[in-house]
Structure 1
Amino acid sequence: MDKFLLIKDAYGSVQALASDQMKDLIKSLKEQSSVCVEGTVLDRGKDRNNKIPTGQIEIDAEKIEVFNSIPNALPVYNSSTELTRLTHRYLDLRSEKMQLALRFRAQIISKMRRFLEDECAFVDIQTPTLSHFTPGGANEFPVPANDSGEFFSLPQSPQIYKQLLMCGGIDKYYQVAICYRDEPTKPNRQPEFTQLDLELSFLLKKKLFV
């Protein structure tokens, strides 16, 4: 098995077959080492594995360049505790589960944008994230300004700005907004979260539910 190398990137994995001269190099590599493999893509023939997307092919490796070798096993695996995963978040993002989640999130946002803009004529407008203090149901995060004693606040929501947009003649507004609320962290309460924010003007109830 020292002749085989499983290569992974953000888009999938493929098996590489190395020559006898490369066996020692492959044996010394730990999982998640960063490498560049050059070679010829071959049909696996009778050894095809139809259970995986790239199971019909393999790479006949002619050159393996090690960019960064992992000296020891990485602390993050699928069975790691939540604390370990969060401590080493940059490594946790390498997992297939996290890769799929982030790409799925991006696809959802993209589809929402296309629907709102192409079919409903909404306008995507970014509102300020440095705002003035607006007392409400939650505390706000203060951001010190250069002027002594002055500060900004991170917005709990784009509420004020989107209403001003309605006054300015923008009748259909939306944005994927990041909001901030200085509250104790709970499963349903986060200090920073993302929401799809919408506002429409001169809208009848009947039209809203169409």
Structure 2
Amino acid sequence: MSFRATEKPGLERFTDGSHEEYKAIQEALVAGIVIVAAAGNQGGASKLNTTNPPGALGGIISVASHDDHFVRSKFSSQGGELDFMAPGETFSTYARGVPYFVGYDSNGELMYRPARCYEALRGTSMACPLIAGLAALLVQAGRSRPRCMSPVLTERLEHSDFKARNCYEVRELLRSFADRPEEHHRKDGHGALSAIYRFVKTKVSDAQLTVAEA
């Protein structure tokens, strides 16, 4: 499961036992469901803990954003609950909206952006699904060992005490792929999973990663 960050209510109200989303998350964790949440986009220059719920909850996997150089995005929230970073800048994604005026064409006619098109977006909500997808692959690999699984992942699972049976074990497996598996910083958790990102880039061309405007 993948969650976006929630600015309101605050963490205190979110965890007071009355918030329905908090109850659902706790029940899911008890059931062994892996939950990945975006950390939020309130980073800036603040040195405070700006991670938003549910990403601020300790029992789930919290994801920050990094740029193409594996440096934490300036907008990305920070805090002690952060686990990992993933690419979260300049994603082409489908956006729905109301057409709006953008100028005039060469004939003097009004020009509007279409109501449905692709836009370049950024945020921890862009980074979060990447980690959620990787977590899902780990869960599948821990159960069925598909033939298409990479030799590196196969060896890692065979020599690990963690079999991706719950959120804690998936986090520990992901940590083994992180840039700093033994170090944790409040700004970016255990860092990026750059080895996996570089591997994907060698298998998928830039043309396939880029979505042309509709």
Normalized against structure 2, the TM-score is what? Answer: 0.21
Q: State the TM-score, normalized to the length of structure 1.
A: 0.21
Kindly indicate which of the two structures has a greater share of residues assigned to strand. Answer: 1
